[in-house]
Structure 1
Amino acid sequence: MNATSEKRIALISVHGDPAIEIGKEEAGGQNVYVRKVGEALGRLGWQVDMFTRQVSADQQQIVQHSENCRTIRFQAGALEFVPRDNLFDYLPEFIEKFLAFQKENNITYQLIHTNYWLSSWVGMQLKKIQGSKQVHTYHSLGAVKYNTIENIPPIATKRLAVEKEVLETAETIVATSPQEKQHMRSLVSKKGNIDIIPCGTDVQQFGSVDRETARAKLNIDPEAKVVLYVGRFDPRKGIETVVRAVGASELRESQKLHLIIGGGSTPGNSDGIERDRIEGIINELGMSDITNLPGRLCQTVLPTYYAAADVCVVPSHYEPFGLVAIEAMASGTPVVASDVGGLQFTVVPEVTGLLAPPQDVPAFTKAIDRILMDQQWRNELGQAARERVINKFSWDGVAAQLSELYTQLLEQPVTKSLVQTLEQTLEQTAVPPAVESTKQPALLS
């Protein structure tokens, strides 16, 4: 066993590459979470390996982020982007590559933290194969998601079953808010262990720019009333709601209202189709003169956009946590958000911002206008928002809580594997029977 194994952790995020540029298709809060948690754990002395799927021959197989933290990419299936709902059949090969990596590097990960339901299935198989202990973060619950969309994908039945199984079999589930824990208990299973550890943000990066400087950099009128949306182009993110809400604002006639919709898109893909739809609505409402779509906002420029805004709107139909909300709050910008999920935890109504029913355009318009029309109150909300994030949601604080949880789990006796011992696993790279029972694609070198 490697000498540092007692402080070694594998973070598995099959579809959410922690080393990818945030804002690309299907790259969002989960990618940020895994990367930032990994880096912060590295600063605490953990050896952190973050495993994901390689989607292009141009991608490095290993990306070293810091001395103790790296991303490792496995080829599973063709080297191309595959939507997450179509990834399940590639998981057996991902597991095979993981086992081979362990053998080649003389490592056995005693503790695995999986992210999203696809990775949870990988973690459950590794638990059966080699007795690894599993911590899991959902990032999104199928039972909630499928209540908010019309077209249920064919993978839904498998996802719901896997999400139930991991709650009942993992050592613990990390919920990012009390609301997410409540949904797990009411919609998934009464069994299993759940700890609440929130997501975090970089309180040095967000909040490093003042509004005057930010607006000068972005060439925004100092007197403008700026409404900001940041996130993927996805119908579930509710961008249409914020567009129509701003379009109905009392301030629109003043010529000082300005809407910024930050987020990347790929033409022809689902996010590109949604962007085209949103642009159609903007044109239909005659808002093209007050709306700016700057594209993907990289992490270096994002703090400037948050600082320049009077209010940040998070109109999602559902969010288990809502990373954008705390990034904005850390920047001293109040938030108007949907009254759902983890947003009920991150945003304190009348203190750090306002909540409105999802997809309720008049309610969003009223909330946005309330903040924009009272500059002093807006500033008070922004100050309280930053204080809340500093006290509750820094990445180093999140990592410290996770580190304590991991340490407690590693101190518990290792149970004997349901399939084979750790020593046998180090000699095996073939996919186990539990994995072979699923449909398996041809293995690629």
Structure 2
Amino acid sequence: MRIAMVSDDISPLATCGRADTDRRKAHSAELFAALARAGHDVTVYTRRDNPDLPERVTTAHGYTVVHVPAGPAAPLAEDEVLPTMGTFAGFLEADWMRHRPDVAHAHSWTSGIATQLAARALSLPTVQTFATLSVAESALQSGGEMDLSSRMRLERVLAKGAHHVVATCSEQVFELSRMGLPRTRASVVPSGVDVDHFTVAGFGTVPSSRGRYRLVAAGRPAPEDGFDTAVTALSLLPDTELVIAGGAAHDDAAADETDRLLALADELGVRERVHMEGHVTRDRMPALLRSADVVLCPSRYEPFRIVALEAMACGRPVVATAVASLRDIVVDGVTGLLVPPRSPHAVATAVRELIADPVQHGAFGVAGRDRAETRYSWGRAVVDLVGAYERAVRQSLAEPVTVRAGASRSGAL
């Protein structure tokens, strides 16, 4: 298939300043490369956010990246990106008239606007993915955050306007159904993991300090990641240390959250057992995960939890909150243990259970590796994703053609 990937903020070639964006970029690049290896013609369209980036380049992995001139060639906040999507759509329409794809896949709600405007003018099948849905984000807000109501309305229009929606987890499919999307128009294609990079080989290459048990958690420090739950749980677990990997230089929000976590650790008397590692590169991550006795994923909401997959691929048992994608990834009592969110006591109890039972601990590791290989390899992800594309094409063919060329310039969805 000729596949157009539209992701306004994740260039596989760009240098990003935030660790969470770096991981999303690397994950997206792995997906694009896996599709190219399977014989598909993949072109990635992303907004130019650096003047030094080439306009169009074919990568060593076989896919092409196009940096779209829409707005200033600099990183923009989400509310600043939105006004550039009309220009982005015009570029897509012109490019797709010359190089018509079989399907166009948008990877965020903002890029979905540009994708659907351009695709409608050319009667192209579209697929929509939402990294997160605003209805879920609003449930996490404690007051004072931005109003998400306008984005909610746009997400509903985009979901219904796409020929198919690829959800990141089962919970997201239910949220889409509550928004009015027919269940047949959505399918779950979970995150993939590179099972050749994240492996059980090299166990113990980063030993725990002072002979303690080691817990590892990873992600950009943010309240929704629930690292405060992990720190509080540590106060109930003597002879145990906690390593938190994530964050990057010049990320003020992550720095503020790191300071809050360290203050909490001081208050609980566990500061010397909490280690903030900062940003850990992809090359170093397998060794860090393999060094863990247990990998923690204490998120309050997480539709895109890569760390749990990486830990399972490394043969490490996972203790995770029973939310969003983690409920899909972790099989409770088989590859790890699921606990309620915001419950340090439940986390501590689960960790103690795994540490006290070496047989169960080992069995979870073996089962996790097997699940990663059979359900979450990139080969499996490609098969599932192409199936979703084929459904989008069939849905497109079943619809009457009512949109004339040039309709995208009207600026209306």
Q: What TM-score do the two structures reach when normalised by structure 2?
A: 0.90
2:40 corresponds in structure 1 to 46
Residue 204 in structure 1 maps to residue 170 in structure 2: no
* 1:120 counterpart residue number: 112
Q: CA deviation at 1:408?
A: 5.1
> Would the alpha carbon gap of residues 73 and 24 (structure 1) be closer, same or farther in structure 2, given more than 3 Å must change?
same
Indicate the SS of the match to 1:16. coil
Q: Is the 8 A contact 1:140 1:320 kept in 2?
A: yes
Task: Work out whether residues 43 and 65 of structure 2, in 8 Å CA contact, stay in contact via their aligned partners in 1.
Answer: yes
Out of 161, 170, 173, the residue aligned to residue 162 of structure 2 is 170
Assess if the C-alpha contact under 8 Å between 1:201 and 1:395 holds in 2: yes
Distance in 1 of aligned mates of 2:147 and 2:26 = 25
Pick from 16, 28, 31 the counterpart of residue 34 of structure 1.
Answer: 28
Q: What 5-or-longer segments of structure 2 have no aligned partner?
A: none
1:110-150 deviation digits (Å, cap 9, x = unpaired): 41111121122222212322212111121211111101112
Matches of 2:252 and 2:67, distance apart in 1: 23
Shifted more, 12-21 versus 32-41: the winner is 12-21
Q: How does 1:395-406 map to 2 (within 5 A)?
A: 395-406=378-389
Tell me, in whole angstroms, the C-alpha distance in 2 between the residues paired with 1:391 and 1:23: 34
- Conserved? CA contact 2:92–2:115, under 8 Å: no
- TM-score, normalised to structure 1, is 0.84
Q: More displaced, 395-404 or 408-417?
A: 408-417
Matched, 1:111 2:128: no
Tell me the equivalent position of 1:441.
none
Partners of 2:19 and 2:361 lie apart in 1 by: 33
> Is 1:282 the counterpart of 2:270 in the alignment?
no
Q: Which residue of 2 aligns with 1:442?
A: none
Asked if 1:236 corresponds to 2:224, the answer is yes
Deviations 1:80-124 (A, max 9, x none): 222324421221222233334446xx2123411111211222222
Residues 76 and 339 (structure 1 numbering): CA distance in 2 closer, same or farther, change over 3 Å? same
Distance 1:244 1:351 in 2: 26
- How far is 1:223 from its partner? 4.2
Residue of structure 1 equivalent to 2:360: 377
Judge which range, 274-283 or 106-115, deviates more: 274-283
Residues 318, 330 of structure 2: 8 Å contact kept:
yes
The aligned amino acid for 1:163 is: E
Post-superposition shift, 1:172?
A: 0.8
1:308 and 2:308 matched: no
RMSD (CA atoms): 2.6
Structure-2 separation of matches of 1:143 and 1:31: 24
Which residue does 1:227 correspond to in 2?
215
1:8 equivalent in alignment to 2:6: no
The answer as to whether partners of 2:317 and 2:335 remain within 8 angstroms in 1 is yes
Q: Report the secondary structure of 1:390's partner residue.
A: helix
What is the identity percentage for the equivalent residue pairs of Structure 1 and Structure 2?
Answer: 24
Structure 1, unmatched stretches of 5+, are: 1-6, 426-430, 438-445
* Aligned CA distance change for structure 1 residues 163 and 301 (closer, same or farther; 3 Å): same
* Corresponding letter in the other structure for 1:332: G
Q: 1:230 to 1:393 in 2, by over 3 A?
A: same
Cα deviation 1:202-246 (Å, max 9, x = unaligned):
11111153313x22xxx5449431101111122111111111111
Equivalent-residue separation in structure 1 for 2:253 and 2:309 (angstroms): 26
Could you tell me which residue of structure 1 aligns to residue 82 of structure 2? 88
Matches within 5 A, 1:209-358: 209-212=201-204, 214-215=205-206, 220-221=208-209, 223-249=211-237, 252=238, 254=239, 257-267=240-250, 269-358=252-341
8 Å contact 2:127–2:392 — kept in the other structure? no
1-structure distance, mates of 2:398, 2:95: 22
Q: How far has the Cα of 1:201 moved from its partner? A: 0.6
Letter in 1 for 2:310: E
* 1:434 lines up with 2:398 in the alignment: no
CA distance in 1, matches of 2:325, 2:340: 14
